[in-house]
Amino acid sequence: MKILLANDDGIHAGGLHNLADALAGGGHDVYVVAPESEKSATSAAITLHNPLRFKEYNSRKAGSARKYFYVNGTPADCVKLGVKVILPELGVRPDLVISGINHGPNIGLDIRYSGTVAAAYEGVFMNYPSIAVSIASYKPDPEYSTASAFIRDNLESLYKKCLQHGNRFLLNINVPSKKPGEIKGHRITRVNNFRYDDSYKKIDAPTSSAYYWLSGKRENIEPACDTDYTSVEEGYISITPLQVDQTDYRALESFREL
C-alpha cells in the first residue's frame, strides 16, 4: 500500500522513523510528511495567515521510506498539503493515512488536544482510511518497536475495517510501552471520560512581566476495563473507533421543542 505518514512530534521524532522503517520493511511505500518542529497539543489547527512551505528531508534513515518531507505548519497542515500537493507532485495517491507514533498516550480527554489524532482526522475528512497510533509512555526511549510491529502486522485487517464502514471514523490506537511478549493482547475500547484538574504556575520574571506554565492531573478516571485508559494501564493495546459526526442524537428531539 501507499501510505502517507504524519505526526505531531516533528520530522526528527523517533516514533515516526521507527514506524516508517517497519512499514517500509513490510513492503509498503511510505511517504512521510511531518512538521519541521514539535507541534504537540495543536489539535486540528491549520495555517491560514502565513505561507506554507515544504522541503525534502534527507537523513541517514531517509532510505527506509520512499520520501521524507517537512512542513512549516501543523500536523493537520501536513496531511492536507501531503494529499493535495506533495504526493500529487510525485504522481502518488495514498491508500491510507497514518499519524504517529506519538511519544505519549492519546486517550480520554487528551484526544481533543492531540495533533496526532487531528492529523488522522484530516485524512478521514478527505475520505481516506486513517489511523492514529501512540505509545503510552513519556520515557525518553519507549518501546516504539512494539507499536510499529502491531501496526505492520495488522495493517491489512485494520485497513479493511475502515473501508467496510465507509471511512466514517478513524482508529485511535494506544500501545503500552512494553516488549511484545509482555503485551496481554488488544481490546476494542471506548474513550475514558476523565477530566483534568488544571492549574497554572506563575513565574515572576525580573526583567519582564510574569508568565505561566500549565500543569494538571487527571481526575474522575473511569475504572471500567472497556475504556482506552484502563486497557492501556492493564497492559492491553487499545483500539478505539472515533467518529467524525459529533452530533448528540439523543438530545436532538428535546431541543427541537425550544
pLDDT means per 10 residues in the chain (258 residues)? 98 96 95 97 97 88 76 99 98 97 97 98 96 97 97 97 87 98 98 93 91 92 95 98 92 85
| pLDDT tens digits for range 119-130 | 999 999 999 999
pTM (predicted TM-score): 0.94
Q: What is the dihedral of CA 97, 102, 108, 110, to 10 degrees?
A: -100
Residue 103 three-state SS: strand
CATH class given for the domain over 2-247: alpha beta
- Cα–Cα distance for residue pair 191/184, rounded to 1 Å: 20
Q: Sign of dihedral through CA atoms 157, 150, 169, 108?
A: positive
* Polymer length in residues for the chain: 258
Domain ranges of the chain: 2-247
Give per-residue pLDDT as tens, 101-111: 999 999 999 99
